[in-house]
Amino acid sequence: MREAFGAELRRVFFRWRSCFDAELRASGQTLARARVLALLAQEEDGLLQRELALQLSIENPTLVRLLDGLERQGLVARVPEAGDRRANRVALTSQASPVAAEVTGISGRLRDRVLQGVDEADLATALRVLRSISANLDAVAGEGGR
């Protein structure tokens, strides 16, 4: 049962991601850029670059490349953080609002289609299980992956 659960969880993750990526292509965004835009859309004051990398679970050099592309599109701005010359705060530009709204809309519509017909009580149970697994993963990571 545990092996089947892990396999199905992987399959669902990759299928959902693949569907989202396919729907994003029409908007001119990539999955990676959309994830940045969606996260920053939730943060009125933006995020420190290192916090953004942590929330996206990517390395800083990867994030720098993503931000370079989004900056070229005029969608994000990096502003030096007051009191820390080594830190940048990343925020959406005013130009990014319609793009972030489009990405968020694509995500919401896909989520509604994917979860169609799934009972709310079942979703609550699945969410509780996933949160338990997430907490266990945090504990494992805190142990150094042992």
pLDDT for residue 28 is more than 90: no
Distance from the Cα of residue 135 to its chain's centroid: 18
Q: What is the pLDDT at residue 128?
A: 97
| Mean pLDDT for the stretch of residues 49-62 | 92
pLDDT for residue 13 is more than 90: yes
Q: What is the pLDDT at residue 84?
A: 81
Report the percentage of the chain scoring pLDDT > 90: 79
| Mean pLDDT for the stretch of residues 77-86 | 86
Report d(CA 8, CA 33) in Å as an integer.
26
Tens digits of residue pLDDT in 122-141: 999 999 999 999 999 989 98
At residue 45, the 3 state secondary structure works out as coil
pLDDT for residue 45 is more than 80: yes
Q: Are strands 76-81 and 47-48 parallel, antiparallel or unpaired?
A: unpaired
Report d(CA 138, CA 68) in Å as an integer.
30
Report d(CA 54, CA 63) in Å as an integer.
10
pLDDT for residue 146 is more than 70: no
Which structure tokens are listed for 33? 């850029």
Tens digits of residue pLDDT in 101-112: 999 999 999 999
